[in-house]
Amino acid sequence: MKITGIETAVMGTPWRDLTFVRVTTDDGLSGVGETRMLGHTEALRGYLAEAVPRHVVGADPFDIESLVQRMKRGDYGRPGEIVMSGIACVEMACWDIIGKALGQPVWRLLGGKVRDRVKAYANGWYTVERTPEEFHAAARRVVERGYRALKFDPFGPGMWELEPAERTRSIALVEAVRDAVGPDVEILVEMHGRFALGEAVRIARGLAEFDPGWLEEPVPPENLKALAKVAGQVSAPVATGERVHERAEFRELFELQAADVVQPDIGHLGGILETRKLAATAETHFVLVAPHNVGGPVLTAANLHLAACTPNFTIQEHFNDFADEHVKQAAPGLPPVEDGYFTLPTAPGLGVELDTDFVAEHPFQAARFDLFAENWQFRGARAGTGL
């Protein structure tokens, strides 16, 4: 079997553009992959236009290791987010082809399952005013839908430090969410790399009584020693990793014991197998894996296959029940979240099929998502979001 070409299609929303890749073969089988870029969608398509004829066409989709190494090293330049995202789309699609060719779901080809279901946490649910009353009501809607975990960023457009009144307001939002969901639902606090080291620690101590499941990116991701210093001064687990795009770059994170949970994005780290290798390294450091996922149904499916076979997996991010729920129609077949869990996909390959007509009905919008703009939490649903 040989790869004969790829097609790309981009589905747009006001705050995210989802890039789908379909890889075709001379046997008539095809596979799909997906990633979500932040402001670099055209750059990704440009990279694929160059890389596919050079590295992909003519390759055997079963030879994933060879293909990934060729795309990663064959151009000599050091790969970053765009290259690793391009690799991820193609790699995912190859796994989809292999599973279809063998009549097996991808997780069976990666070592088999270690769990029968995958715990999910909701994101994108707080498209409301930043008041305790609004956050309380929105959080109640999440648990009423069956979720037992949810994540949110209560800090508005905050950067580096918060004024005392704004710090009090942000902490009050976390208090409201904890009150809404009760003690047995996990609340995960997203900090989006906003804060200086001392401010991150101060905020974390203010949140401690509400028992957050983790603090995500309390400081910008570039300085792992600063992250380690935060981790040494707070009681909650620290999570990070969505903006690390090369497996080797996690080495220092593990050596410094700077995080309790790593959050690689399959769509940016080079695909399913690269992320599985990272998870195995994390396991040797007793670190949990909770993949970052702002993608649609194809990328979410890839995450479920990884979760199925990864012993130190803990929980899966999911936007699509609360933000742009219609994107699930772009690739039917994904199991729904029921009582807070996904069941495992059982169809061959990734278990979803791309609907290119539906994608075409929602064209590329060159979405701009600014986490430091006022009212960004509305995710383009109203004016004044900075989008």
pLDDT in tens, 257-312: 999 999 999 999 999 999 999 999 999 999 999 999 999 999 999 999 999 999 99
Mean pLDDT, range 323-348, rounded to an integer = 97
d(CA 310, CA 187): 23
* Contact status, residue 252 vs residue 228, Cβ threshold 8 Å: no
Say what the pLDDT of residue 213 is: 98
Say what the pLDDT of residue 368 is: 87
DSSP secondary structure letter of residue 300? H
pTM listed for this prediction: 0.96
- pLDDT band per the 50, 70, 90 thresholds, residue 385: very low
Long-range contacts of 377-383 (CB under 8 A, 24+ apart): 377/126, 377/127, 377/128, 377/130, 377/153, 377/156, 378/127, 379/14, 379/15, 379/124, 379/127, 379/323, 380/13, 380/14, 380/15, 381/14, 381/127
Strands 316-318 and 288-289: unpaired
* Contact status, residue 120 vs residue 334, Cβ threshold 8 Å: no
- pLDDT band per the 50, 70, 90 thresholds, residue 386: very low
For residue 100, give both structure tokens. Answer: 């279809």
d(CA 376, CA 154): 11
Q: What is the pLDDT of residues 168-218, one digit of tens each?
A: 999 999 999 999 999 999 999 999 999 999 999 999 999 999 999 999 999
CA 175 to chain CA centroid, nearest Å = 26
For residue 216, the SS3 value is strand
> pLDDT at residue 334 above 50?
yes
Q: What is the pLDDT of residues 277-289, one digit of tens each?
A: 999 999 999 999 9
Average pLDDT taken over every residue of the chain: 96
* Contact status, residue 285 vs residue 99, Cβ threshold 8 Å: no
Burial class (CB in 10 A: 0-12, 13-18, 19+), 322: buried
- E strands along the chain, which residues? 3-12, 17-25, 30-37, 117-122, 149-152, 186-190, 214-216, 238-240, 261-262, 288-289, 316-318, 337-338, 341-343
What percentage of the chain reaches a pLDDT higher than 90?
95
> Of 318, 288, 284, which Cα lies nearest the Cα of 303?
318
d(CA 349, CA 330): 17
Q: What is the pLDDT of residues 110-157, one digit of tens each?
A: 999 999 999 999 999 999 999 999 999 999 999 999 999 999 999 999
Query: What are the residues whose beta carbons fall under 8 Å from the beta carbon of 314, sequence distance 6 or more?
Result: 119, 261, 288, 289, 290
Buried residues in 47-80 as b, exposed as e (16+ CB within 10 A): bbeebbeebbeebebeebeebbebbbeeeeeebe
* Contact status, residue 67 vs residue 55, Cβ threshold 8 Å: yes
Domain boundaries, the chain: 3-105, 108-350
Strands 214-216 and 238-240: parallel
Catalytic residue IDs:
192, 292
Helix, strand, coil fractions of the chain, as percent rounded to 5: 40, 15, 45
Say what the pLDDT of residue 381 is: 65
Same fold, 3-105 and 108-350: no
d(CA 82, CA 46): 10
Q: What is the pLDDT of residues 25-67, one digit of tens each?
A: 999 999 999 999 989 999 999 999 999 999 999 999 999 999 9
* Contact status, residue 141 vs residue 161, Cβ threshold 8 Å: no
> Of 333, 308, 313, which Cα lies nearest the Cα of 108?
308
DSSP symbols for 114-183? S-SEEEEEE-S---S-SSHHHHHHHHHHHHHTT-SEEEE--STT-BBB--HHHHHHHHHHHHHHHHHH-T
CA 109 to chain CA centroid, nearest Å = 22
Half-sphere exposure of 211 (CA within 13 A, CB side): 9
Residue type, 305: H
* Contact status, residue 147 vs residue 120, Cβ threshold 8 Å: yes
> pLDDT at residue 382 above 80?
no
> pLDDT at residue 384 above 70?
no
CATH number for the region 3-105 comes to 3.30.390.10
Say what the pLDDT of residue 164 is: 97
CATH number for the region 108-350 comes to 3.20.20.120
**Cβ atoms within 10 Å of 384's Cβ, excluding its own:** 9
For residue 243, give both structure tokens. Answer: 């903006």
